[in-house]
């Protein structure tokens, strides 16, 4: 019997450390490097390349799980059936799921499978997944890190206005007075028509977040992101019920069930699902559709190079976050036009990898 052309006959994983492009600090941590975990699969129909990441620790644990447990199971599987592949791998590591390491490992495989499927069909990923929008508004996060002073935030706001982007996100987590000065200066510089978004990176208690919300509302803040520790669903529910500022969560949630709890209980207003941390494109789409069923908008976290395709696939996405981090290993960049990120036109993930750079930088 002739094997299916999408039968996986080879799978490999490797790690590439990518230096951060600028200093990145928030209320609880610094982004020291991007440990980028790649998975390459091969079939007679072609190859697929997927990736996931950490911001400085744990990448070797993800790589070890892939090499020891997941990649051997891929051989002989049908890459045209991403749901079946993802489910098989999830169940094979059920004792370690749900967890960050398992989700990050699953994501690298799942992106490789979808990359291959899109290439084989010849259809760009955003269209293959639904094709709801061909572009989305862009907001900047690179100009808003916590170590930046008000004058520097004003400079960032001027760049956003000059480029015609639709929003700027700044970090909070200093003293109340310092945070207010930073927010006020940024709003004054942006004017009333550009979104000002605020990210606390899980740095507040419920009481402290309540105190900040009135100030943030007075400055027309579009959302308060991760105000509390991500596992405090009840706290987010209480805060969301009282806050005049919409609450955004998602970058630190690693399962569909976690989003079900937040969304079903009213703990958030914006869903910031991260394709690597949720475990890949397959579960990312389920979260996006769950959010749609509850009338919520999706604004994915980080990874703009892949998230532009996923966000454009669904009707309820509202933003793409600008944080460039793959320039050292790619040959093209996100296409931006009139303040919008444009969906890629090529099949696959829509990322043009510099394979020479990947081979040079890889540790296996």
Which of 8, 14, 2, 118 has its CA nearest to residue 74?
8
- Topology of the domain comprising 127-354: TIM Barrel (3.20.20)
Strands 362-363 and 135-140: unpaired
296: tokens are 């919520």
Cis peptide before 51 (omega within 30 of 0): no
pLDDT digits (tens, 9 = 90+) for 226-271: 999 999 999 999 999 999 999 999 999 999 999 999 999 999 999 9
Mean pLDDT, all residues of the chain: 96
pLDDT the model gives residue 1? 47
**Contact, 91 vs 19, CB < 8 A?**
no
**Contact, 262 vs 233, CB < 8 A?**
yes
Domain spans in the chain, listed from the N-terminal domain onward: 10-122+356-363, 127-354
51: tokens are 């990736």
Which of 244, 230, 237, 232 has its CA nearest to residue 201?
230
Percent of the chain with pLDDT over 90: 92
Which of 344, 294, 278, 332 has its CA nearest to residue 136?
344
pLDDT the model gives residue 28? 84
What residues are annotated to the active site? Answer: 171, 301
Helices marked H in the chain: 59-65, 71-74, 82-92, 100-121, 125-128, 150-163, 176-190, 206-218, 233-242, 256-264, 275-278, 281-293, 304-313, 355-361
pLDDT the model gives residue 318? 98
- Topology of the domain comprising 10-122+356-363: Enolase-like; domain 1 (3.30.390)
Confidence of residue 3 (pLDDT cuts 50, 70, 90): low
Confidence of residue 23 (pLDDT cuts 50, 70, 90): confident
Average pLDDT estimate for 29-50: 94
Does residue 93 carry a pLDDT above 80? yes
Phi and psi at 52, nearest 5°, equal: -145, -170
Average pLDDT estimate for 31-58: 95
DSSP state of 344: P
Q: Which residue has the tokens 């696959």?
A: 348
Q: Facing residues of 52 across strands?
A: 37
């Amino acid at each position: 019997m002739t094997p299916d052309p999408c039968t996986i006959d080879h799978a490999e994983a490797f790690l590439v450390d990518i230096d951060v492009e600028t200093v990145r600090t928030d209320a609880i941590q610094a982004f020291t490097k991007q440990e980028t975990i790649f998975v390459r699969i091969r079939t007679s129909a072609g190859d697929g390349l997927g990736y996931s990441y950490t911001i400085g620790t744990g990448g070797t644990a993800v790589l070890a799980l892939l090499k020891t447990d997941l990649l051997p199971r891929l051989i002989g599987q049908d890459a045209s059936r991403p749901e079946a592949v993802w489910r098989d791998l999830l169940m094979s590591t059920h004792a370690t799921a749900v967890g960050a390491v398992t989700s990050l490992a699953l994501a690298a495989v799942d992106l490789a499978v979808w990359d291959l499927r899109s290439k084989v069909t010849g259809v760009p990923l955003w269209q293959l997944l639904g094709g709801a929008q061909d572009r989305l508004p862009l907001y900047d996060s690179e100009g808003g890190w916590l170590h930046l002073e008000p004058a520097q935030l004003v400079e960032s706001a001027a760049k956003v206005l000059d480029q015609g982007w639709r929003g700027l996100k700044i970090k909070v987590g200093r003293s109340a007075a310092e945070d207010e000065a930073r927010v006020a200066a940024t709003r004054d510089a942006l004017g009333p028509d550009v979104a000002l978004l605020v990210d606390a990176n899980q740095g507040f208690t419920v009481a402290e977040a309540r105190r900040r919300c009135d100030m943030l509302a007075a400055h027309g803040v579009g959302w308060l992101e991760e105000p509390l520790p991500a596992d405090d669903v009840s706290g987010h529910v209480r805060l969301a019920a009282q806050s005049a500022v919409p609450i955004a969560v998602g970058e630190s949630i690693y399962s569909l069930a976690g989003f079900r709890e937040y969304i079903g209980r009213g703990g958030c207003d914006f869903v910031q699902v991260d394709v690597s941390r949720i475990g890949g494109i397959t579960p990312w789409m389920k979260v996006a559709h769950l959010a749609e069923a509850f009338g919520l908008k999706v604004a994915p976290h980080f990874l703009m190079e892949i998230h532009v395709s996923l966000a454009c696939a669904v009707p309820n996405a509202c933003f793409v976050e600008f944080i460039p981090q793959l320039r050292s290993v790619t040959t093209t960049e996100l296409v931006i036009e009139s303040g919008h990120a444009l969906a890629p036109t090529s099949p696959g993930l829509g990322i043009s990898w510099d394979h020479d750079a990947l081979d040079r930088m890889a540790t296996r």
